[in-house]
Amino acid sequence: MKTDKEPDFFVFDRFRLEVELENHVRLYHQYATILADVRQDHERAKAQREVVAAEVAQEVRKNPEAFGLVKAQPKEAVEEAVLLDPRYRKALSKEITAKHAVDMAQAAVSTLEHRKTAISKEVDLFLSGYWAKPRVSTDAAREHMDEHRRNEAVTAFQSKHRRERNTDE
């Protein structure tokens, strides 16, 4: 979710590309750092979930009756008891939230990669004169003007000739 303080990755000023490129480097670093931080948080949440799973599994094996099991349960029954334990579910929820944060940060970094490409393409268009005023060589302009004058002369002659025919009738 974008807040008012977050930059809009999809908009940049094509007439200030040098500023956009400088800002882009800062933005990319900022979001790549955020991505690294949330990846670390995700790894910690994952490790914590694994610790909780091990602790709950140990408790289930020590006291299966407390978890509604009879003694000497197979491994699958212990795993199911772990999955149903509220502590495990809370740890799993935290891991899922941390994974979502990683995915969102990765999306921002990927968007910045595309933004970099878009800015680069804008620079290419600018350098190729894409937004420049059209220029015509003098020979081509002269030929176009001569053709335009001939067409005007023919049209004027045809109009005069039609008028004369209409007045004669």
pLDDT above 50 (res 127):
yes
| Nearest alpha carbon to residue 41 among 87, 93, 90, 99 | 99
| Nearest alpha carbon to residue 119 among 6, 31, 29, 17 | 17
CA distances from 113 to 62, 73, 105 (A): 52, 52, 13
pLDDT above 60 (res 76):
yes
At 34 the pLDDT is: 96
Bigger pLDDT: 77 or 115?
A: 115
At 72 the pLDDT is: 67
At 133 the pLDDT is: 72
pLDDT above 50 (res 121):
yes
* Cβ-Cβ contacts under 8 Å for 42 (sequence gap 6 or more): 95, 98, 99, 101, 102
Distance (Å, rounded) from C-alpha 63 to C-alpha 69? 9
For the segment 21-45, what is each residue's pLDDT rounded down to a tens digit? 888 999 999 999 999 999 999 999 9
Distance of CA 129 to the CA centre of its chain: 28
pLDDT above 60 (res 81):
yes
At 134 the pLDDT is: 66
Q: How confident is the model at residue 1 (pLDDT cuts 50, 70, 90)?
A: very low
Range with the largest mean pLDDT of 8-12, 82-86, 126-130: 82-86
Percent of the chain scored above 90 by pLDDT? 40
The average pLDDT across 53-57 equals 91
Distance (Å, rounded) from C-alpha 73 to C-alpha 152? 101
pLDDT above 50 (res 8):
yes
For the segment 153-165, what is each residue's pLDDT rounded down to a tens digit? 888 888 877 777 7
Percent of the chain scored above 70 by pLDDT? 93
Q: How many CB atoms lie within 10 A of CB 57?
A: 17
At 45 the pLDDT is: 97
